[in-house]
Structures are given as structure tokens and as C-alpha cells.
Structure 1
Amino acid sequence: MKGQLIDMFFSEGAILFGRFILTSGRESEYYINVKKLSTNPEALRIIARLMAEKAKTLGIEFDRVAGPELGAVPIATALALETGKPLVIVRKKPKGHGTGSQIEGEVKPGDRILLVEDVTTTGGSVLRAAEVLENVGAEIAAISVVVDREEGAGERIEKKYRFIPLVTVSELFARRNSAGMEE
């Protein structure tokens, strides 16, 4: 399944080449658009199954699945459906109306959360989401990402949490190079 997912990055046009500014503010010669895959039911199903299998294989126990808005929401939703675990969505900012909550879904003190993200570069976004969850008493069981760009996120996240990338940029480009794919 992992090889199938890697192939889908190319067949679905989820990797673009050019000049891009990333969420982290860094400039990059390539852009990984996991949303191209997370909006495709077949690819999203593969992502959820791989995340569920990897968590099970590693013995990671969790009560809920969470994802920061926006890119991680379909992934977290699919993983919640795959595992039967409740879904939690972490907003970037507290909403300005109603309860003013930054979290959608129930989180009880002591709940173990499998936090998911689409792509990590520095890890800043997912670490902010982890902090929001911890501030309401949750424990982060692990952080699982679809793609690790291998630009420091793994090292930064692993200082405090278990880090589980499904695919690394090295693996994507190794497949691309072995298949003779052009930019």
C-alpha cells in the first residue's frame, strides 16, 4: 500500500516543481500538495489504513484522532472512520463566536490523542495543535504525518513526541528517480 501511495503522489499531480513559499515561510523548489490525495477517496482510504496499521504495529494506543485545520481534517476524519475512534479538530485560532473554542469535538483530561498532519517541514503547525490539546488535559500518544519533508520537523517533534511519517521526501524522490520521472 505504501508504494501505491507514493505512486499516487505522481499520478495525481500532488508534487509540483517551481518556486513556492511554504507555511513555515521557507522557500522551496517543490510543493507537496497532500490535499490532492486527501480529496481523492481511494488515496484517502490508503492514507487512513496505513496510519491505522502503523499505529497498531508500533503499539500506539489512543482514544481519539485529532487534526489541525485545514489539511489534516480529511485525514483525521478518514482515520477516525477507519479506527472507530472519535474525531477532534484543532482550529488555528479560537473561534470568534459561540463558545470561542479552539477545539471541535470532545477531549477529556487524560485522553490519548493520535494527532495527524498532512505535511511537516519544521513541525510548527502540528506542535501548536499538540499544545492546544495538552492545555485541555489531553496526552499526545503520537504524531503521524503523511509526508515528512525532512527539514527538521522530525527532530523537533521527537524531542517530545513519537513521530510517525508514512512517507519521507527521500522516499518520494527515490521512487521518482528510479522511475525516470521528469519534473
Structure 2
Amino acid sequence: MEYTEDNLITALRDCEAIRFGDFTLASGNKSRYYIDIKKATSMPKVLKLISEMASEKIRDMQVDRIGGVALGGVPLATAVSLITEDPLLLIRKSEKDYGTGGRFVGDVNKGETVILIEDVTTSGGSVIDAIDVLRSEGVVVNTVITVVDREEGALENLKAKNIELIPLARASRILEKAGDDV
């Protein structure tokens, strides 16, 4: 299979990760469509396609670790880490106050470069929070790869923090391909 945006959209549609109707997003905003990447990552062939596409995007980049924000980014970052053989770093949404505590699973080393893998970006809020926490630890974060960018401000919000957002698929293309199905 070719690693193209259209093939990814077809795979997402075929596994029913793209749905149309009336939905409330995590942001509280209403939407006529929903992209369930968590469902897609439960399908091995789709997860493999996503991780191969993301790995191809970072092949020539400087990277010390592949990062994923819990929950949606965890299987994605894990799969990319397996392909690239770069160590994995998982970022919790909040600090854990039991066990070993902390917000990170994996090593956080000052000066290292982490590329974050995200499932869906809307405004970029959750990934920006993770970036801020990583940067406060001295970690370099310049790139976020997202499976789907809903094109609702994440690109601009990340650019304002000197972060490049690389979408594997864009909502406008998903909607364009859906055509009469919407």
C-alpha cells in the first residue's frame, strides 16, 4: 500500500473511524463529523499504515525520542518508536501522585529532541500543554506529527510556539472525499 493521504483517509473510513452526525468535541465545540483515531489504532493494519507514514516523515529529522500524549498518542508513538527504534517517551495529562509519580514514562533528558505524535489536532491545546512541560525540563520540541488536523487553529497555535505541525491527513480532504456521504 502506498503511504498517501488518500490511502490513509480510505483506511480511516473503512474501519469506521470517520463518522458523520452531531458530535460534541473535547473542546466543547459542536461538529458534524468525528475522527476516532483510537478506534483506528485498534486495527493493526491501520495502525501500521499510520506509523509507517509518520516514520517516513521523521526519517531525516534529528530525534532522540518519540513522544506521545496520553491517551490517544500512546499507541501511535509506541508504533513509531518500534519502527524507528528511537526510545519512547509518554506524557501524562497530569502528574501522578502515586507509584513513582511524575508526568513522564520514559527518560526526560535536558537537550534531547523529542518529536510528538498526536492522534487528532483541533486547537492544539493538549499537545501545547505537553510541549510546555517538556520545554520546562529542557527538552527540545520542534515538531508534532498528527494523524488528522481538523484545521481549526492547531497549525497557527503551534507555529506561534515555533512548532511545525505535520498532518498525515487534513479534515478538508476528508470532507472533500466524503462528498455526498456527509
Aligned with residue 176 of structure 2, among 149, 174, 177: 174
The answer to whether residue 116 in structure 2 is matched with residue 115 in structure 1 is: yes
The 10-residue stretch of structure 1 (93-102 or 112-121) with the greater mean CA deviation from structure 2: 93-102
Letter in 1 for 2:172: S
| Cα distance in 2, alignment partners of residues 99 and 36 from structure 1 | 30
Residues 65-144 of structure 1: pairs in structure 2 closer than 5 A: 65-144=66-145
Is the partner of 1:146 in helix, strand or coil? strand
CA offsets, 1:10-60, max 9 Å, x none? 11111112221111221111111011211111111111111111123xx42
Name the SS for the 1:109 alignment partner.
coil
Cα distance in 1 between the residues matched to 2:114 and 2:170: 23
CA distance in 2, matches of 1:28, 1:140: 30
- Structure 2 length-normalised TM: 0.93
1:106 Cα offset (Å): 0.4
The residue number in structure 2 matching 1:62 is 63
Percent sequence identity is: 40
SS at match of 2:102: coil
- Code of the residue aligned with 1:72 in structure 2: it is G
Amino acid at match of 1:169: A
The AA in structure 2 aligned to 1:39 is S
Aligned to 1:36: 39
Distance in 2 between residues matched to 1:60 and 1:31, nearest whole Å: 31
State the distance in 2 between where 1:18 and 1:117 align: 24
Runs of 4+ in 1 over 3 A off after TM superposition: none
* Alpha-carbon distance in 1 for matches of 2:130, 2:103: 9
Letter in 2 for 1:25: G
Judge conservation of contact 1:62–1:113 (CA < 8 Å) in 2: yes
> Using the alignment, how far apart are the partners of 1:154 and 1:38 within structure 2?
23
Q: Structure 2 residue aligned with 1:11, among 14, 37, 41?
A: 14
Q: Which residue identity does 1:98 align to in structure 2?
A: G
Alpha-carbon distance in 2 for matches of 1:29, 1:96: 38
Partner of 2:94, secondary structure, is coil
Spell out, residue by residue over 1:94-129, the C-alpha distance to the aligned partner (whole angstroms, 9 max, x if none).
Answer: 012123200110010011000111001110001111
Whether the 8 Å CA contact 1:60–1:142 is kept in 2: the answer is: no
Aligned residue pairs, count: 178
Give secondary structure in 1 for the equivalent of 2:54.
Answer: helix
Give yes or no for contact 1:17–1:29 (8 Å, CA) kept in 2.
Answer: yes
TM-score, with normalisation over the residues of structure 1? 0.93
**What residue is the counterpart of 1:164 in the other structure?**
166
Deviations 1:109-159 (A, max 9, x none): 011000111001110001111111112111003111000000111111112
Which residue identity lines up with residue 40 of structure 1 in the other structure? M
